[in-house]
Amino acid sequence: MPKKIVIIGSGFSSLSAACYLAQAGNEVHLYEKNQTLGGRARQLKEEGFTFDMGPSWYWMPDIFEKFFGDFNKKVSDFYQLEKLDPAYYVWFKDEVVTIGDTLDKIATEFERIEPGSSPQLKKFIKNAGVNYDIAINDVVNKPGLSPFELVTPETAVRVNQFFKTISDDVRKAFKNEKLVSILEFPVLFLGAKPNNTPAFYRFMNYADFGLGTWHPKGGMHEVIKGMIKLAHSLGVKTHTSAGASKILVDQGKVQGIIVNGETITADYVVSGADYHHSETLLDPSYRQYTEKYWDSRVFAPSSLLFYVGFDKKFDNVAHHNLFFDTDFDQHARTIYDDLAWPEEPLFYANFPSVSDETMAPEGKENGFFLIPIAPGVEDTQALRDQYFDIIMERLERLSGQNFRNHIIFKKSFCVDDFVSEYNSYKGNAYGMANTLKQTAFLRPNLRSKKVKNLYFTGQLTVPGPGVPPALISGKLVSQLISKSIK
Ligand SMILES: Cc1cc2nc3c(=O)[nH]c(=O)nc-3n(C[C@H](O)[C@H](O)[C@H](O)COP(=O)(O)OP(=O)(O)OC[C@H]3O[C@@H](n4cnc5c(N)ncnc54)[C@H](O)[C@@H]3O)c2cc1C
Protein backbone atom coordinates (compact mmCIF):
# COMPACT_ATOMS: atom_id res chain seq x y z
CA MET A 1 0.00 0.00 0.00
CA PRO A 2 1.72 3.27 -1.12
CA LYS A 3 2.26 5.88 1.57
CA LYS A 4 2.35 9.65 1.44
CA ILE A 5 5.87 10.71 2.40
CA VAL A 6 6.96 14.27 3.05
CA ILE A 7 10.64 15.16 2.86
CA ILE A 8 12.09 18.35 4.36
CA GLY A 9 15.06 19.87 2.50
CA SER A 10 16.49 19.34 -0.97
CA GLY A 11 20.16 18.53 -0.45
CA PHE A 12 21.78 15.38 -1.81
CA SER A 13 20.42 13.24 1.02
CA SER A 14 16.81 14.44 0.65
CA LEU A 15 16.88 14.05 -3.14
CA SER A 16 18.39 10.59 -2.79
CA ALA A 17 15.73 9.52 -0.27
CA ALA A 18 13.01 11.01 -2.48
CA CYS A 19 14.16 9.00 -5.53
CA TYR A 20 14.30 5.68 -3.67
CA LEU A 21 10.99 6.19 -1.88
CA ALA A 22 9.22 7.18 -5.11
CA GLN A 23 10.75 4.20 -6.91
CA ALA A 24 9.20 2.00 -4.20
CA GLY A 25 5.79 3.32 -5.26
CA ASN A 26 5.14 5.98 -2.61
CA GLU A 27 3.69 9.46 -3.12
CA VAL A 28 6.65 11.73 -2.32
CA HIS A 29 6.62 15.50 -1.73
CA LEU A 30 9.80 17.44 -1.04
CA TYR A 31 9.72 20.86 0.68
CA GLU A 32 12.68 23.25 0.49
CA LYS A 33 12.83 26.57 2.35
CA ASN A 34 15.03 28.27 -0.27
CA GLN A 35 14.01 29.40 -3.74
CA THR A 36 16.18 26.82 -5.45
CA LEU A 37 16.87 23.13 -4.86
CA GLY A 38 20.19 21.50 -3.98
CA GLY A 39 20.87 22.49 -0.37
CA ARG A 40 24.51 23.35 0.20
CA ALA A 41 25.17 22.41 -3.43
CA ARG A 42 23.16 25.32 -4.84
CA GLN A 43 24.45 27.35 -7.74
CA LEU A 44 25.06 31.07 -8.07
CA LYS A 45 25.02 32.64 -11.54
CA GLU A 46 26.36 36.20 -11.81
CA GLU A 47 27.74 38.21 -14.72
CA GLY A 48 28.27 35.13 -16.87
CA PHE A 49 30.04 33.18 -14.09
CA THR A 50 28.63 29.93 -12.69
CA PHE A 51 29.63 29.30 -9.08
CA ASP A 52 29.08 26.10 -7.15
CA MET A 53 28.12 27.46 -3.73
CA GLY A 54 29.28 24.42 -1.72
CA PRO A 55 30.96 21.18 -2.77
CA SER A 56 33.51 21.23 -5.58
CA TRP A 57 35.50 18.00 -5.13
CA TYR A 58 33.89 15.09 -6.95
CA TRP A 59 35.40 12.02 -5.31
CA MET A 60 34.30 8.37 -5.23
CA PRO A 61 32.77 8.27 -8.72
CA ASP A 62 31.66 4.68 -8.06
CA ILE A 63 29.11 5.89 -5.46
CA PHE A 64 27.46 8.25 -7.94
CA GLU A 65 27.43 5.48 -10.57
CA LYS A 66 25.84 3.12 -8.04
CA PHE A 67 23.21 5.71 -7.15
CA PHE A 68 22.07 6.27 -10.73
CA GLY A 69 22.53 2.53 -11.44
CA ASP A 70 19.89 1.76 -8.80
CA PHE A 71 17.44 3.45 -11.18
CA ASN A 72 18.80 1.69 -14.28
CA LYS A 73 20.55 4.88 -15.33
CA LYS A 74 24.14 5.92 -15.78
CA VAL A 75 25.95 9.06 -14.68
CA SER A 76 26.48 9.85 -18.37
CA ASP A 77 22.69 10.00 -18.85
CA PHE A 78 22.74 13.16 -16.73
CA TYR A 79 26.17 14.86 -16.90
CA GLN A 80 29.58 14.59 -18.44
CA LEU A 81 32.44 13.62 -16.15
CA GLU A 82 36.13 14.39 -16.65
CA LYS A 83 39.08 13.10 -14.61
CA LEU A 84 41.26 16.06 -13.67
CA ASP A 85 44.99 16.08 -14.39
CA PRO A 86 46.50 17.49 -12.29
CA ALA A 87 44.02 16.44 -9.66
CA TYR A 88 45.26 19.34 -7.57
CA TYR A 89 48.21 21.48 -6.56
CA VAL A 90 49.44 21.78 -3.00
CA TRP A 91 51.18 25.09 -2.37
CA PHE A 92 53.90 25.18 0.28
CA LYS A 93 56.13 28.15 1.19
CA ASP A 94 58.93 27.05 -1.11
CA GLU A 95 57.34 24.84 -3.77
CA VAL A 96 54.19 23.54 -5.39
CA VAL A 97 53.51 19.80 -5.22
CA THR A 98 51.53 18.39 -8.12
CA ILE A 99 49.10 15.55 -7.47
CA GLY A 100 48.61 13.89 -10.84
CA ASP A 101 45.84 11.67 -12.11
CA THR A 102 47.57 8.31 -11.59
CA LEU A 103 49.26 6.69 -8.62
CA ASP A 104 52.46 6.33 -10.67
CA LYS A 105 52.63 10.08 -11.30
CA ILE A 106 51.96 10.81 -7.63
CA ALA A 107 54.58 8.27 -6.53
CA THR A 108 57.17 9.97 -8.75
CA GLU A 109 56.35 13.30 -7.08
CA PHE A 110 56.64 11.68 -3.61
CA GLU A 111 60.00 10.18 -4.56
CA ARG A 112 61.26 13.64 -5.58
CA ILE A 113 60.33 15.02 -2.16
CA GLU A 114 61.27 12.05 0.05
CA PRO A 115 63.64 9.66 -1.73
CA GLY A 116 62.59 6.08 -1.11
CA SER A 117 58.96 6.98 -0.33
CA SER A 118 57.31 5.72 -3.52
CA PRO A 119 57.15 1.97 -2.67
CA GLN A 120 55.85 2.99 0.76
CA LEU A 121 53.16 5.12 -0.88
CA LYS A 122 52.04 2.32 -3.15
CA LYS A 123 51.78 -0.06 -0.19
CA PHE A 124 49.88 2.56 1.83
CA ILE A 125 47.37 3.15 -0.96
CA LYS A 126 46.96 -0.58 -1.58
CA ASN A 127 45.98 -1.06 2.09
CA ALA A 128 43.73 1.98 1.88
CA GLY A 129 42.07 0.34 -1.13
CA VAL A 130 41.28 -2.77 0.92
CA ASN A 131 39.65 -0.54 3.56
CA TYR A 132 37.76 1.30 0.82
CA ASP A 133 36.20 -1.95 -0.40
CA ILE A 134 35.20 -2.94 3.13
CA ALA A 135 33.88 0.53 3.94
CA ILE A 136 31.93 1.08 0.74
CA ASN A 137 30.61 -2.43 0.23
CA ASP A 138 29.83 -3.05 3.84
CA VAL A 139 30.30 -0.60 6.71
CA VAL A 140 28.76 2.60 5.30
CA ASN A 141 25.74 0.73 4.05
CA LYS A 142 24.59 -0.03 7.58
CA PRO A 143 21.87 2.12 9.15
CA GLY A 144 23.78 2.67 12.40
CA LEU A 145 21.14 1.05 14.59
CA SER A 146 23.49 -1.24 16.52
CA PRO A 147 27.20 -1.59 17.32
CA PHE A 148 27.08 -5.15 15.99
CA GLU A 149 26.63 -3.85 12.45
CA LEU A 150 30.29 -2.92 12.52
CA VAL A 151 31.40 -6.40 13.44
CA THR A 152 32.12 -8.29 10.23
CA PRO A 153 34.92 -10.79 9.53
CA GLU A 154 36.76 -8.00 7.70
CA THR A 155 36.41 -5.33 10.37
CA ALA A 156 37.11 -7.76 13.22
CA VAL A 157 40.67 -8.28 11.97
CA ARG A 158 41.07 -4.52 11.59
CA VAL A 159 39.68 -3.57 14.98
CA ASN A 160 42.97 -1.90 15.97
CA GLN A 161 42.37 0.58 13.13
CA PHE A 162 39.46 2.00 15.08
CA PHE A 163 41.74 2.82 18.00
CA LYS A 164 44.74 4.19 16.11
CA THR A 165 44.44 7.47 14.27
CA ILE A 166 45.11 8.39 10.64
CA SER A 167 47.88 10.62 11.92
CA ASP A 168 49.63 7.66 13.64
CA ASP A 169 49.47 5.66 10.42
CA VAL A 170 50.70 8.38 8.10
CA ARG A 171 53.54 9.48 10.36
CA LYS A 172 54.73 5.90 10.74
CA ALA A 173 55.04 5.55 6.98
CA PHE A 174 56.32 9.01 5.95
CA LYS A 175 58.78 11.43 7.54
CA ASN A 176 58.56 14.48 5.29
CA GLU A 177 56.07 16.98 6.77
CA LYS A 178 54.79 18.01 3.32
CA LEU A 179 53.92 14.42 2.43
CA VAL A 180 52.35 13.94 5.85
CA SER A 181 50.07 16.93 5.38
CA ILE A 182 49.11 15.82 1.85
CA LEU A 183 48.14 12.37 3.14
CA GLU A 184 46.26 13.85 6.09
CA PHE A 185 44.31 16.24 3.86
CA PRO A 186 41.48 13.86 2.75
CA VAL A 187 40.48 13.38 6.37
CA LEU A 188 39.42 17.01 6.46
CA PHE A 189 36.39 15.94 4.42
CA LEU A 190 35.31 13.92 7.45
CA GLY A 191 35.25 17.10 9.46
CA ALA A 192 37.77 16.23 12.17
CA LYS A 193 41.47 16.48 12.89
CA PRO A 194 43.64 13.62 11.54
CA ASN A 195 44.79 12.90 15.08
CA ASN A 196 41.16 12.41 16.13
CA THR A 197 40.04 10.24 13.20
CA PRO A 198 40.26 6.43 13.29
CA ALA A 199 42.92 4.93 11.00
CA PHE A 200 40.18 2.85 9.35
CA TYR A 201 39.20 6.04 7.49
CA ARG A 202 42.47 5.89 5.57
CA PHE A 203 40.21 4.62 2.78
CA MET A 204 39.85 8.32 1.98
CA ASN A 205 43.46 8.20 0.74
CA TYR A 206 42.40 5.56 -1.76
CA ALA A 207 39.50 7.79 -2.83
CA ASP A 208 42.05 10.56 -3.39
CA PHE A 209 45.05 8.85 -5.03
CA GLY A 210 43.43 5.60 -6.17
CA LEU A 211 40.16 6.79 -7.69
CA GLY A 212 41.12 10.37 -8.51
CA THR A 213 39.47 13.76 -8.66
CA TRP A 214 36.70 14.29 -11.21
CA HIS A 215 34.72 17.23 -12.50
CA PRO A 216 31.17 17.23 -13.83
CA LYS A 217 31.07 19.61 -16.79
CA GLY A 218 29.09 22.67 -15.71
CA GLY A 219 29.96 22.11 -12.03
CA MET A 220 28.81 20.03 -9.07
CA HIS A 221 25.30 21.43 -9.34
CA GLU A 222 24.90 19.34 -12.52
CA VAL A 223 24.67 16.32 -10.20
CA ILE A 224 21.80 18.01 -8.35
CA LYS A 225 20.11 18.80 -11.68
CA GLY A 226 20.45 15.14 -12.68
CA MET A 227 18.91 14.01 -9.40
CA ILE A 228 16.03 16.46 -9.72
CA LYS A 229 15.35 15.21 -13.26
CA LEU A 230 15.41 11.64 -12.00
CA ALA A 231 13.17 12.48 -9.01
CA HIS A 232 10.60 14.20 -11.24
CA SER A 233 10.61 11.27 -13.66
CA LEU A 234 9.78 9.02 -10.69
CA GLY A 235 6.85 11.25 -9.72
CA VAL A 236 8.39 13.26 -6.85
CA LYS A 237 6.72 16.64 -6.39
CA THR A 238 9.16 19.39 -5.40
CA HIS A 239 8.16 22.62 -3.65
CA THR A 240 10.49 25.62 -3.18
CA SER A 241 10.17 28.65 -0.87
CA ALA A 242 8.44 26.09 1.31
CA GLY A 243 10.11 25.99 4.70
CA ALA A 244 8.67 23.64 7.31
CA SER A 245 7.86 25.47 10.53
CA LYS A 246 6.53 22.49 12.50
CA ILE A 247 6.57 18.70 12.47
CA LEU A 248 3.14 17.57 13.66
CA VAL A 249 2.83 14.63 16.05
CA ASP A 250 -0.20 13.05 17.61
CA GLN A 251 0.04 10.38 20.29
CA GLY A 252 3.63 9.64 19.43
CA LYS A 253 3.05 9.29 15.67
CA VAL A 254 3.99 11.81 12.99
CA GLN A 255 1.05 13.46 11.22
CA GLY A 256 2.70 15.82 8.75
CA ILE A 257 4.31 19.26 8.65
CA ILE A 258 3.27 22.89 8.52
CA VAL A 259 4.56 24.85 5.52
CA ASN A 260 3.78 28.54 5.05
CA GLY A 261 0.87 28.18 7.48
CA GLU A 262 -0.63 25.20 5.64
CA THR A 263 -0.89 21.71 7.14
CA ILE A 264 0.55 19.02 4.88
CA THR A 265 -0.51 15.60 6.11
CA ALA A 266 1.76 12.59 5.71
CA ASP A 267 2.15 8.96 6.71
CA TYR A 268 5.91 9.42 7.04
CA VAL A 269 8.16 12.46 7.42
CA VAL A 270 11.87 12.47 6.59
CA SER A 271 13.95 15.51 7.44
CA GLY A 272 17.13 16.13 5.47
CA ALA A 273 17.54 19.58 7.05
CA ASP A 274 20.26 19.87 9.72
CA TYR A 275 19.30 17.38 12.43
CA HIS A 276 19.49 19.90 15.27
CA HIS A 277 17.14 22.29 13.44
CA SER A 278 14.78 19.44 12.51
CA GLU A 279 14.35 18.56 16.16
CA THR A 280 13.47 22.17 17.00
CA LEU A 281 10.43 21.72 14.70
CA LEU A 282 9.09 19.23 17.25
CA ASP A 283 7.51 19.92 20.62
CA PRO A 284 10.28 19.56 23.24
CA SER A 285 8.92 16.27 24.60
CA TYR A 286 9.45 14.63 21.19
CA ARG A 287 13.09 15.71 20.82
CA GLN A 288 15.69 12.97 21.28
CA TYR A 289 18.78 15.10 21.87
CA THR A 290 19.26 17.96 24.33
CA GLU A 291 21.06 21.25 23.63
CA LYS A 292 23.79 19.93 25.92
CA TYR A 293 24.18 16.89 23.67
CA TRP A 294 24.58 19.02 20.54
CA ASP A 295 26.97 21.37 22.30
CA SER A 296 29.19 18.46 23.31
CA ARG A 297 29.54 17.06 19.77
CA VAL A 298 32.53 17.71 17.50
CA PHE A 299 31.16 19.57 14.51
CA ALA A 300 32.79 19.85 11.11
CA PRO A 301 34.15 23.34 10.49
CA SER A 302 32.17 26.27 9.23
CA SER A 303 33.75 28.20 6.34
CA LEU A 304 34.40 31.66 5.08
CA LEU A 305 33.71 31.45 1.35
CA PHE A 306 34.25 33.87 -1.51
CA TYR A 307 32.79 33.57 -5.00
CA VAL A 308 34.88 35.82 -7.23
CA GLY A 309 34.75 36.62 -10.95
CA PHE A 310 38.05 37.83 -12.47
CA ASP A 311 38.45 39.72 -15.76
CA LYS A 312 41.38 37.57 -16.99
CA LYS A 313 42.87 34.08 -16.99
CA PHE A 314 45.72 33.34 -14.56
CA ASP A 315 48.99 31.49 -14.97
CA ASN A 316 50.11 28.40 -13.07
CA VAL A 317 46.96 27.77 -11.02
CA ALA A 318 45.15 24.41 -11.13
CA HIS A 319 41.44 23.64 -10.96
CA HIS A 320 41.93 22.72 -7.26
CA ASN A 321 44.66 24.37 -5.12
CA LEU A 322 45.40 23.77 -1.45
CA PHE A 323 47.41 26.46 0.28
CA PHE A 324 49.37 24.61 2.94
CA ASP A 325 52.04 27.28 3.29
CA THR A 326 51.20 27.83 6.97
CA ASP A 327 51.15 25.47 9.93
CA PHE A 328 48.21 23.06 9.85
CA ASP A 329 48.24 22.40 13.61
CA GLN A 330 47.86 26.04 14.64
CA HIS A 331 44.89 26.40 12.27
CA ALA A 332 43.29 23.13 13.45
CA ARG A 333 43.61 24.24 17.08
CA THR A 334 41.58 27.37 16.37
CA ILE A 335 38.81 25.27 14.80
CA TYR A 336 38.55 22.46 17.35
CA ASP A 337 40.03 23.79 20.61
CA ASP A 338 40.11 27.60 20.78
CA LEU A 339 36.99 28.26 18.65
CA ALA A 340 38.59 31.41 17.27
CA TRP A 341 39.61 32.89 13.94
CA PRO A 342 42.97 31.50 12.74
CA GLU A 343 45.94 33.85 12.58
CA GLU A 344 47.47 32.25 9.53
CA PRO A 345 44.75 30.22 7.83
CA LEU A 346 45.25 27.40 5.40
CA PHE A 347 42.89 27.88 2.50
CA TYR A 348 41.54 26.29 -0.65
CA ALA A 349 41.30 28.04 -4.02
CA ASN A 350 39.18 26.57 -6.78
CA PHE A 351 39.39 27.83 -10.36
CA PRO A 352 36.95 25.54 -12.21
CA SER A 353 37.24 27.64 -15.39
CA VAL A 354 40.81 26.34 -15.74
CA SER A 355 39.39 23.07 -17.03
CA ASP A 356 35.76 23.93 -17.82
CA GLU A 357 35.06 26.87 -20.13
CA THR A 358 31.37 26.87 -19.21
CA MET A 359 32.11 28.17 -15.69
CA ALA A 360 33.22 31.68 -16.76
CA PRO A 361 32.86 34.02 -19.75
CA GLU A 362 35.59 33.67 -22.37
CA GLY A 363 38.98 35.00 -21.24
CA LYS A 364 37.84 35.27 -17.61
CA GLU A 365 38.44 33.16 -14.49
CA ASN A 366 36.02 31.83 -11.89
CA GLY A 367 37.45 31.75 -8.36
CA PHE A 368 36.01 30.07 -5.27
CA PHE A 369 37.96 30.44 -2.01
CA LEU A 370 37.37 28.60 1.25
CA ILE A 371 38.86 29.12 4.71
CA PRO A 372 37.76 26.50 7.27
CA ILE A 373 36.83 28.16 10.58
CA ALA A 374 35.30 27.12 13.90
CA PRO A 375 31.50 26.85 13.89
CA GLY A 376 29.86 29.65 15.84
CA VAL A 377 32.69 32.21 15.60
CA GLU A 378 31.85 35.90 15.28
CA ASP A 379 31.01 36.84 11.68
CA THR A 380 31.32 40.47 10.58
CA GLN A 381 31.94 42.21 7.25
CA ALA A 382 35.19 43.59 8.64
CA LEU A 383 36.45 40.07 9.45
CA ARG A 384 35.42 38.80 6.02
CA ASP A 385 37.31 41.69 4.34
CA GLN A 386 40.35 41.18 6.54
CA TYR A 387 40.59 37.46 5.69
CA PHE A 388 40.02 38.08 1.98
CA ASP A 389 43.06 40.34 2.00
CA ILE A 390 45.12 37.79 3.94
CA ILE A 391 44.51 35.01 1.42
CA MET A 392 44.79 37.27 -1.65
CA GLU A 393 48.16 38.55 -0.47
CA ARG A 394 49.44 34.98 -0.13
CA LEU A 395 47.92 33.85 -3.42
CA GLU A 396 49.51 36.80 -5.23
CA ARG A 397 52.90 36.35 -3.57
CA LEU A 398 53.11 32.59 -4.09
CA SER A 399 51.78 32.56 -7.65
CA GLY A 400 53.60 35.77 -8.66
CA GLN A 401 50.64 37.66 -10.17
CA ASN A 402 48.01 40.20 -9.19
CA PHE A 403 44.45 39.02 -8.52
CA ARG A 404 42.88 41.93 -6.64
CA ASN A 405 43.08 44.37 -9.56
CA HIS A 406 41.08 41.98 -11.72
CA ILE A 407 37.94 41.43 -9.63
CA ILE A 408 34.67 42.13 -11.43
CA PHE A 409 32.36 40.24 -9.07
CA LYS A 410 32.71 39.20 -5.45
CA LYS A 411 30.33 37.70 -2.91
CA SER A 412 31.14 36.24 0.50
CA PHE A 413 29.33 33.59 2.55
CA CYS A 414 30.08 32.77 6.17
CA VAL A 415 28.75 31.53 9.53
CA ASP A 416 25.70 33.81 9.65
CA ASP A 417 24.71 32.82 6.10
CA PHE A 418 24.97 29.11 6.91
CA VAL A 419 22.56 29.73 9.77
CA SER A 420 20.09 31.92 7.87
CA GLU A 421 20.19 30.03 4.55
CA TYR A 422 20.31 26.43 5.79
CA ASN A 423 19.29 26.53 9.48
CA SER A 424 22.72 25.10 10.19
CA TYR A 425 23.73 24.43 13.82
CA LYS A 426 26.33 27.09 14.74
CA GLY A 427 26.78 27.68 11.02
CA ASN A 428 28.56 24.38 10.43
CA ALA A 429 29.42 23.90 6.76
CA TYR A 430 29.34 20.14 6.52
CA GLY A 431 27.73 18.56 9.51
CA MET A 432 29.07 16.49 12.35
CA ALA A 433 32.61 15.14 12.28
CA ASN A 434 33.32 11.43 11.93
CA THR A 435 35.44 10.92 15.05
CA LEU A 436 35.64 7.54 16.81
CA LYS A 437 32.94 8.58 19.28
CA GLN A 438 30.75 9.90 16.45
CA THR A 439 30.91 7.03 14.02
CA ALA A 440 28.10 4.71 12.85
CA PHE A 441 25.69 3.81 15.70
CA LEU A 442 27.19 6.62 17.81
CA ARG A 443 25.78 9.29 15.45
CA PRO A 444 22.29 10.80 15.73
CA ASN A 445 19.81 8.18 14.58
CA LEU A 446 18.20 7.85 11.15
CA ARG A 447 14.96 6.82 12.88
CA SER A 448 13.39 8.83 15.66
CA LYS A 449 13.32 6.94 18.94
CA LYS A 450 10.42 9.06 20.16
CA VAL A 451 8.13 9.64 17.17
CA LYS A 452 6.78 6.81 15.03
CA ASN A 453 7.26 7.27 11.26
CA LEU A 454 9.66 10.20 11.68
CA TYR A 455 13.09 9.80 10.09
CA PHE A 456 16.20 11.89 9.51
CA THR A 457 18.84 11.88 6.80
CA GLY A 458 21.91 13.91 5.83
CA GLN A 459 25.32 14.89 7.00
CA LEU A 460 24.57 14.95 10.76
CA THR A 461 23.41 11.36 10.78
CA VAL A 462 24.72 8.13 9.20
CA PRO A 463 27.18 7.72 7.51
CA GLY A 464 28.48 11.33 7.76
CA PRO A 465 29.60 14.47 5.93
CA GLY A 466 30.23 14.75 2.19
CA VAL A 467 28.30 14.27 -1.02
CA PRO A 468 28.81 10.48 -1.44
CA PRO A 469 27.75 9.81 2.19
CA ALA A 470 24.68 12.02 1.65
CA LEU A 471 23.65 9.86 -1.31
CA ILE A 472 24.08 6.76 0.85
CA SER A 473 22.22 8.35 3.78
CA GLY A 474 19.16 8.89 1.58
CA LYS A 475 19.25 5.27 0.49
CA LEU A 476 19.63 3.97 4.06
CA VAL A 477 16.65 5.96 5.33
CA SER A 478 14.50 4.83 2.42
CA GLN A 479 15.38 1.20 3.20
CA LEU A 480 14.35 1.64 6.84
CA ILE A 481 11.04 3.18 5.78
CA SER A 482 10.37 0.49 3.17
CA LYS A 483 10.97 -2.15 5.85
CA SER A 484 8.59 -0.41 8.23
CA ILE A 485 5.87 -0.17 5.53
CA LYS A 486 6.01 -3.94 4.83
C1 LIG B 1 31.46 25.05 1.36
C2 LIG B 1 31.29 23.58 1.32
C3 LIG B 1 32.18 22.81 0.62
C4 LIG B 1 32.02 21.43 0.57
N5 LIG B 1 32.87 20.71 -0.21
C6 LIG B 1 32.61 19.41 -0.44
C7 LIG B 1 33.29 18.72 -1.48
O8 LIG B 1 34.11 19.32 -2.17
N9 LIG B 1 32.99 17.41 -1.69
C10 LIG B 1 32.05 16.75 -0.94
O11 LIG B 1 31.80 15.55 -1.16
N12 LIG B 1 31.35 17.40 0.04
C13 LIG B 1 31.60 18.71 0.27
N14 LIG B 1 30.86 19.41 1.18
C15 LIG B 1 29.87 18.70 1.99
C16 LIG B 1 28.59 18.41 1.20
O17 LIG B 1 28.25 19.50 0.41
C18 LIG B 1 27.47 18.12 2.18
O19 LIG B 1 27.86 17.09 3.07
C20 LIG B 1 26.16 17.70 1.51
O21 LIG B 1 25.87 18.54 0.42
C22 LIG B 1 25.07 17.74 2.54
O23 LIG B 1 23.86 17.36 2.01
P24 LIG B 1 22.59 17.22 2.96
O25 LIG B 1 21.51 16.66 2.13
O26 LIG B 1 22.95 16.48 4.19
O27 LIG B 1 22.26 18.69 3.49
P28 LIG B 1 22.02 20.12 2.81
O29 LIG B 1 22.66 20.20 1.49
O30 LIG B 1 22.40 21.12 3.81
O31 LIG B 1 20.45 20.17 2.62
C32 LIG B 1 19.58 20.52 3.66
C33 LIG B 1 18.49 21.38 3.07
O34 LIG B 1 17.45 21.56 4.04
C35 LIG B 1 16.93 22.87 3.85
N36 LIG B 1 16.17 23.26 5.05
C37 LIG B 1 16.66 23.63 6.26
N38 LIG B 1 15.65 23.90 7.10
C39 LIG B 1 14.50 23.68 6.41
C40 LIG B 1 13.13 23.78 6.75
N41 LIG B 1 12.71 24.13 7.97
N42 LIG B 1 12.21 23.50 5.79
C43 LIG B 1 12.59 23.14 4.54
N44 LIG B 1 13.88 23.04 4.17
C45 LIG B 1 14.83 23.29 5.11
C46 LIG B 1 18.15 23.70 3.60
O47 LIG B 1 17.82 24.93 3.02
C48 LIG B 1 18.92 22.78 2.67
O49 LIG B 1 18.55 23.02 1.34
C50 LIG B 1 30.97 20.80 1.26
C51 LIG B 1 30.06 21.58 1.99
C52 LIG B 1 30.21 22.95 2.00
C53 LIG B 1 29.21 23.78 2.74
Residue 282: which CATH number? Answer: 3.50.50.60
The pLDDT assigned to 323 comes to 97
Tally the domains of the chain. 2
Q: Does the structure show a pLDDT above 70 at 151?
A: no
**Is residue 349 one of the residues assigned to a domain?**
no
Dump pLDDT digits (tens) for 196-237. 888 888 899 999 999 999 999 999 999 999 999 999 999 999
Q: What is the mean pLDDT of residues 110-116?
A: 97
Residue 326 CA: distances (Å) to CA of 90, 197, 300, 330 = 12, 22, 20, 9
Q: Tell me which of 63, 227, 228, 430 to substitute to probe ligand 1's pocket, judged by most ligand atoms within 8 Å of the beta carbon.
A: 430
- Which one-letter amino acid corresponds to residue 191? G
How confident is residue 188, by pLDDT bands cut at 50, 70 and 90?
confident
Distance from residue 138's CA to the centre of ligand 1 (Å): 24
Kindly state if the Cβ of 280 falls inside 6 Å of ligand 1: no
Q: Using the predicted structure, report yes or no on whether residue 75 has a pLDDT greater than 70.
A: yes
pLDDT at 153 (0 to 100): 73
Q: What is the pLDDT of residue 100?
A: 98
Question: Taking the complete model, does pTM exceed 0.85, yes or no?
Answer: yes
| Residue 417 within a domain | no
Strand partners, 373: 302
Q: What share of the chain in percent tops pLDDT 90? A: 88
Q: How confident is the model at residue 388, as a pLDDT? A: 98
Q: What number does the ligand 1 atom closest to the CA of 58 have?
A: 9
Please write the tens of the pLDDT for every residue from 465-482.
Answer: 999 999 999 999 999 999
Let me know whether 187 and 235 are in one domain: no
- Residue minimizing CA distance to atom 15 of ligand 1: 466
Laid out side by side, the sheet with 96-99 consists of 96-99, 88-91, 320-323, 347-350, 365-373, 302-310, 407-413
What is the distance between the alpha carbons of residues 303 and 4, in angstroms, rounded to a whole number? Answer: 37
Q: Is 458 in the pocket of ligand 1 (CB under 6 A)?
A: yes
- Summarised one tens digit per residue, pLDDT across range 138-149 is 888 888 887 777
pLDDT at 387 over 90: yes
What is the pLDDT averaged over residues 358-374?
98
Last residue of a domain, one of 164, 182, 211: 211
For 426, phi and psi rounded to 5 degrees?
55, 20
Query: Does ligand 1 come within 6 angstroms of the Cβ of 257?
Result: no
- Within a domain: residue 401? no
Confidence of residue 77 (pLDDT cuts 50, 70, 90): very high
The answer to whether residues 231 and 157 belong to one domain is no
Q: Are residues 202 and 262 in the same domain?
A: no
Looking at 186, 211, 236, which one is the last position of a domain?
211
Helix (H) or strand (E) run with residue 16 in it: helix 12-23
Residue 470 Cα to ligand 1 midpoint, Å, equals: 9
Tens digits of residue pLDDT in 13-35: 999 999 999 999 999 999 999 99
Residue 17: name the closest of 192, 170, 234, 164 by CA.
234
User: Which pLDDT score is estimated for 144?
Assistant: 82
pLDDT score for 6: 98
| Whole-number pLDDT of residue 140 | 83
Cβ atoms within 10 Å of 133's Cβ, excluding its own: 12
Contact present, 266 and 257 (Cβ < 8 Å): yes
Give me the mean pLDDT over the 64-92 stretch.
98
pLDDT at site 411: 98
Using the mean position of ligand 1's atoms as its centre, give its distance from the Cα of residue 260 in Å. 22
> Which DSSP state fits 206?
I
pLDDT for position 155: 73
CA 76 to centroid of ligand 1, rounded, Å: 24
Of 127-136, 274-283, 378-387, the poorest mean pLDDT is in 127-136
Strand partners, 348: 322, 370
Range of the structural domain that residue 262 is part of:
4-39+218-296+431-485
By C-alpha distance, which of 409, 341, 347 is closest to 51?
A: 409
Q: Is there a single domain that holds both residue 121 and residue 182?
A: yes
Any idea what the CATH number is for the domain that residue 200 is in?
A: 1.10.405.10
Does some domain include residue 286? Answer: yes
pLDDT reported for residue 22: 98
Alpha-carbon gap, residue 318 to 374, rounded angstroms: 27
Is the predicted pLDDT of residue 429 greater than 90, yes or no?
Answer: yes
Same domain, 202 and 180: yes
- Order of strands across the sheet that contains 262-265: 244-250, 253-259, 262-265
Task: Specify whether 223 is located in the same domain as 157.
Answer: no
- Does 229 share its domain with 288? yes
Domain boundary residue, one of 211, 227, 253: 211
